Chain A
């Protein structure tokens, strides 16, 4: 890595456009909201900036911390599942024959060009009590039942007297499944970009030296693609943490995540200062986690990860 002083012209050309965009179109709006988080609601639409910390103190009440905790473990589970599904997927794509790669990549991305809401409703049609998963299970149940009847074991009721649909919708499972479904490409893309550049001769060397496929994966491939894995985890975990539509539509009566609480502050509760304070606490926490991670791994921080 070279110092910025060695080539100032290139440095400025590379840094100015992005910095300007970020500064003017992102940090400025954000600063407005940040200031709001120190405000006090004085009327229906009026907010006085009194630099009070009341909103932050309120955000630390146990009920909100509980919701945050729940959001964290739901997001962790969703991220882990996402990684488990996306890694083999990205692996298969990057080892596919050249002409297949763009097609496969497209096939992964295509579902995500359909509106999130429509996709979620489509998911409901698949998961609900009278949805396709249960129809399929019922079909298997009927076949199994017919077989049992045929061999004269129906009296034992090994598989129950009648088919009981699985309650897979409107609970935490559905929320996690929904999050995995929604955020898959955020995991596949960085993994693909990373596995794709992997020098295949390392794998050959490992295999030639007698390591099995599993061992090669564990000791060679995973460590080498760690940057991709970490980017993927971050790209999935963080949006999961702030999501509100998925728990809203797929969750049961206790599906509320912190995103739902924040959304309500900006809409139904009409309490923008508190909503801003909650958002910023969430951001501080995420930043804290990122910082700890980069300290632990001894790297610099932030984006490279």
Chain B
């Protein structure tokens, strides 16, 4: 419990009359995360989010060809999923695409957010409108647009991996980066511009000001935006379906065609593996990122 109080200095300030030894277990007015009703609500929401996932994982051990009746415990679908070359390849493709798309769309999105936050320019309203288009457009329409576009310009197919994924990655970036821009822009709207001016007045260059003043403030927005971009890319089926070819099948496309017939435990097993791998990767990433966690404030 000790670490809880150390990160909540406000609580200390607003409750100065409390005796010191008592403070450890006392809940400060702003320590919402320690209030029981908040915890209950968050817990209930997590239950809603995770109940289906738990079911999914449980059924991956089901010794039946489909996900309806429990017939006994087995590992065989994990072996089957692991030996399914197509599934493995689709999985690697998805991760690769999601990674490339996240990096590029986070950079592009953050730049657009900065642009819109910082500058006045003619036609800005229209520009913002165009930027919002990828968010507004029905997925299926964008999917078909991409299909027509890549077919008409004769985008080369059959390139060696990972270049063969370029069409899908390009499409993913196109619909992801405006989402990043929205999230980062929402964050920037609370930034005190005077800080930036002060920095420049004190002789800092554009880059120094950006890196030392603006960027630290942007960071939570960028993290949230990158998460969103990663999620969008990893989960996208519709647009990917229309841009994929025989050697560029992604995990959702593969899974989609498999579950349309019947949800076999093999799909569950593959998804469970995907969850486990992503969790491990994320925990690793967080561990490496840990030292500068404090600067996010």
Identify the A interface with B (CB < 8 A).
Answer: 1-4, 7, 10-11, 13-15, 17-19, 21-22, 25-30, 32-33, 36, 85, 88-89, 91-93, 95-100, 102-103, 105-119, 121-123, 125-126, 132, 181, 184-186, 189-190, 192-194, 196-198, 200-201, 203-204, 207-208, 213, 227-228, 231, 234-235, 238-239, 241-242, 244-245, 259, 262-263, 266, 272, 275-276, 279-280, 282-283, 286-287, 290, 300-304
Q: A93 vs B38: C-alpha distance in the bound complex, in angstroms? A: 10
Cross-chain contact B49 with A30 (CB below 8 angstroms): no
Q: How distant is A213 from chain B, measured CB to nearest CB, in Å? A: 8
Q: A279 vs B275: C-alpha distance in the bound complex, in angstroms? A: 34
- Which positions 119-148 of chain B face chain A at CB distance < 8 Å? 119-121, 124-125, 127-146, 148
Given contacts A1-B120, A95-B32, A192-B224, are A197 and B115 in contact (CB under 8 A)? no
Given contacts A185-B228, A193-B183, A194-B190, are A95 and B30 in contact (CB under 8 A)? yes
Q: A109 vs B282: C-alpha distance in the bound complex, in angstroms? A: 11
Given contacts A4-B120, A26-B133, A259-B138, are A106 and B282 in contact (CB under 8 A)? yes
Interface residues of A, dominant DSSP = helix
Interface residues of B, dominant DSSP = helix
Total A-B residue contacts, Cβ distance less than 8 Å: 330
Q: A191 vs B279: C-alpha distance in the bound complex, in angstroms? A: 23
Q: How distant is B42 from chain A, measured CB to nearest CB, in Å? A: 5
**Partner-contacting stretch, out of B17-25, B72-80, B156-164, B252-260:** B252-260
Cross-chain contact B30 with A204 (CB below 8 angstroms): yes
- Which positions 164-219 of chain B face chain A at CB distance < 8 Å? 170-171, 173-175, 177-179, 181-187, 189-190, 193, 206, 217
Cross-chain contact B148 with A33 (CB below 8 angstroms): yes
Least CB separation from A241: chain B residue? B138
User: Does any Cβ of A come within 8 Å of B53's Cβ?
Assistant: yes
Cross-chain contact A126 with B55 (CB below 8 angstroms): yes
Cross-chain contact B30 with A190 (CB below 8 angstroms): no
Cross-chain contact A275 with B141 (CB below 8 angstroms): yes
Cross-chain contact B136 with A238 (CB below 8 angstroms): yes
Least CB separation from A208: chain B residue? B14
Q: How distant is B17 from chain A, measured CB to nearest CB, in Å? A: 13
Q: A286 vs B59: C-alpha distance in the bound complex, in angstroms? A: 40
- Which positions 15-49 of chain B face chain A at CB distance < 8 Å? 29-33, 38-39, 41-42, 45-46, 48-49
Residue among B125, B185, B224, B251 with the highest chain A CB neighbour number at 10 A: B224
Q: How distant is A173 from chain B, measured CB to nearest CB, in Å? A: 14
Cross-chain contact B256 with A18 (CB below 8 angstroms): no
Q: How distant is B185 from chain A, measured CB to nearest CB, in Å? A: 5
Given contacts A18-B112, A125-B67, are A303 and B128 in contact (CB under 8 A)? yes
Give every chain B residue within 8 A of A302 (Cβ-Cβ). 125, 127-129, 131-132
User: Does any Cβ of A come within 8 Å of B267's Cβ?
Assistant: yes
User: Does any Cβ of A come within 8 Å of B63's Cβ?
Assistant: no
Given contacts A29-B148, A115-B235, are A200 and B179 in contact (CB under 8 A)? no
Of B8, B131, B146, the residue contacting A303 (CB under 8 A) is B131
Cross-chain contact B121 with A304 (CB below 8 angstroms): no
Q: How distant is A37 from chain B, measured CB to nearest CB, in Å? A: 10
Q: A15 vs B252: C-alpha distance in the bound complex, in angstroms? A: 33
Give every chain A residue within 8 A of B85 (Cβ-Cβ). none
Q: How distant is A206 from chain B, measured CB to nearest CB, in Å? A: 10
Q: How distant is A255 from chain B, measured CB to nearest CB, in Å? A: 17
Q: How distant is A192 from chain B, measured CB to nearest CB, in Å? A: 6
Contacts beyond the supplied A14-B114, A29-B146, A208-B14: 5 A-B pairs with Cβ under 8 Å:
A192-B224, A259-B140, A266-B144, A279-B140, A301-B128
Cross-chain contact B206 with A304 (CB below 8 angstroms): no
Binary interface encoding of chain B residues 262-297 relative to chain A, with 1 for a CB under 8 A from any of its CBs, else 0: 010001100100110011001000100000011011
